């Protein structure tokens, strides 16, 4: 199969979808698929990535086009427009990652008009919590959906959800397209041999203090307004506990989180790290005692699976859409989006090292069996074939 993936940007600042797509594309090439990525050089807020624009780049067998941006608010790219009109028909299937931006909307619309099979992964954008929110005018967002994104969704060969809860939450839209659930995956190699504990703690001057880890974008949906007061309560029982907040801030929300920390006098107990990758990322998971993600909405939660792969017990809200799997596998605790409840869960695990070890071991086994790439690439390829066959059977 000749597959085209379309995503607004591959900037690491945009979180899980960019990381997942890069890994998925590499794994699909290893499985024998021909894979191209169509994206832009957009970075946040109006910067550009340091990549050659408008020319193909071959890396790990994946051809990637980074098209230059002409209008940043919707990430409009004339060069992408021209390339798509010339090239889209050469692909067997187009996989669209996200909504509400020109590269995604235009390529989906063009595929629909040309009768090319396409799949849309909304990456949580259809969750009612996010669907009703907008950084711009909500009225303009509704018009954009009516004119562009909803017709694309209705006409898709399939909607790809990464968890059953994500599909359930999108049901209010009554989309006519069929759907399927295939989870995101991780490359097991970085987690196969975990490093010894200590390097992250040493770098952050944490010592042997109880360590709570948050890892992800500093964004309102992540529940940091819950985590900071919850950690304040934890400190009253465990005065030496520390909190590491690891992740980039896409806007001034990061300043707000730091202000909450200052207001509660937690500056000496909380460390901020903007970005970690590779062995440094794995080291942060290994050195923590518990991972916490009290999100208001989370279509999957890659950092949850990465924590599990590192045998780190997790505490997540019931709005993280893999919470059923976490409970089923005995890999952590699930809470409401409530600071008191999150604080109790953190203290429960910090005060019980044997339970932490048991939950961590359960999570590591589950991460390897459920979320590694070879299984997921096979499942996704089968869904691609179904979409292509339905398209042929319909004679479109």
Residue 151, φ and ψ in degrees, nearest 5? -60, -40
Give all strands of the β-sheet with 314-317 in edge-to-edge order.
270-273, 242-246, 211-215, 290-293, 314-317, 332-335
Q: Which pLDDT does position 72 carry in this prediction?
A: 87
The DSSP line for 289-314 is SEEEE--S-BSS-HHHHHHHHTT--E
List the chain pLDDT tens, one digit each, 396 residues: 999 999 999 988 777 788 899 999 999 999 999 999 999 999 876 789 999 999 999 999 999 999 999 998 889 999 999 999 999 999 999 999 999 899 999 999 999 999 999 999 999 888 888 777 655 576 777 777 777 899 999 999 999 999 999 999 999 999 999 999 999 999 999 999 999 999 999 999 999 999 999 999 899 999 999 999 999 999 999 999 999 999 988 678 999 999 999 999 999 999 999 889 899 999 999 999 999 999 999 989 999 999 999 999 999 999 999 999 999 999 999 999 999 999 999 999 999 999 999 999 999 999 999 999 999 999 999 999 999 999 888 865
Pair 104, 94: CB distance under 8 Å: no
pTM, to two decimals:
0.88
Q: Is residue 78 within 8 Å of 52, Cβ to Cβ?
A: no
CA–CA distance, 307 with 310 (Å, rounded to integer): 5
Q: How far apart are CA 218 and CA 13, in angstroms?
A: 10
Domains and CATH numbers, the chain: 2-185+373-393 (3.40.50.2000), 189-370 (3.40.50.2000)
- Residue ranges of alpha helices (H) inside 88-241 are 102-114, 128-131, 138-144, 150-155, 164-169, 189-192, 199-203, 224-237
Q: Residue 53's pLDDT is what?
A: 95
HSE of 390, CA atoms in CB hemisphere, 13 A: 17
Q: Cα separation of 25 and 62, whole Å? A: 7
Helix/strand/coil (H/E/C) assignment for every residue in 319-333: CECCHHHHHHHCCEE
Nearest alpha-carbon partner for 223 in 336, 310, 305: 336
With contact defined as beta carbons under 8 Å apart, do 60 and 28 qualify? Answer: no
pLDDT for res 106 = 96
């Amino acid at each position: 199969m000749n597959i085209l993936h379309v995503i607004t940007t591959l900037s690491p600042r945009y979180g899980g979808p960019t990381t997942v797509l890069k890994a998925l594309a590499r794994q699909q090439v290893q499985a024998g698929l021909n894979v191209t990525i169509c994206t832009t050089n957009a970075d946040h807020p109006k910067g550009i990535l340091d990549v050659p624009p408008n020319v193909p780049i071959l890396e790990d067998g994946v051809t990637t086009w980074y098209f230059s941006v002409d209008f940043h608010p919707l990430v409009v790219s004339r060069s992408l427009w021209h390339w798509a009109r010339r090239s889209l028909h050469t692909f067997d299937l187009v996989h669209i990652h996200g909504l509400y931006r020109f590269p995604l909307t235009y390529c989906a619309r063009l595929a629909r008009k040309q009768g090319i099979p396409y799949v849309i992964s909304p990456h949580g954008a259809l969750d009612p919590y996010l669907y009703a929110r907008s950084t711009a005018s909500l009225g303009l967002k509704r018009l954009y959906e009516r004119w562009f994104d909803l017709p694309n969704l209705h006409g898709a060969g399939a909607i790809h959800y990464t968890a059953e809860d994500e599909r359930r939450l999108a049901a209010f839209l009554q989309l006519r397209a069929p759907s399927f659930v295939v989870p995101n995956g991780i490359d097991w190699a970085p987690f196969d041999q975990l490093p010894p504990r200590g390097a992250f703690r040493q770098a952050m001057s944490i010592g042997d203090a109880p360590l709570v880890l948050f890892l992800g974008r500093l964004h309102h949906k992540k529940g940091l307004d819950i985590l900071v007061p919850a950690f304040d309560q934890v400190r009253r029982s465990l005065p030496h506990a520390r909190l590491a907040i690891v992740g980039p801030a896409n806007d001034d929300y990061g300043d707000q989180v730091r202000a909450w920390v200052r207001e509660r006098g937690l500056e000496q107990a909380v460390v901020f790290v903007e970005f970690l990758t590779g062995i440094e990322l794995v080291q942060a998971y290994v050195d923590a005692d518990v991972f916490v993600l009290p999100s208001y909405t989370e279509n999957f939660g890659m950092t949850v699976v990465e924590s599990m792969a590192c045998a780190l017990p997790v505490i997540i809200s019931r709005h993280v859409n893999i919470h059923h799997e976490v409970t089923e596998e005995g890999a952590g605790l699930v809470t409401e989006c409530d600071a008191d409840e999150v604080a109790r869960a953190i203290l429960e695990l910090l005060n019980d090292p044997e339970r932490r070890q048991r939950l961590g071991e359960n999570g590591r086994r589950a991460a390897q069996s459920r979320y590694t790439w070879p299984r997921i690439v096979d499942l996704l390829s089968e869904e691609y074939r179904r979409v292509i066959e339905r398209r042929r059977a319909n004679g479109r």
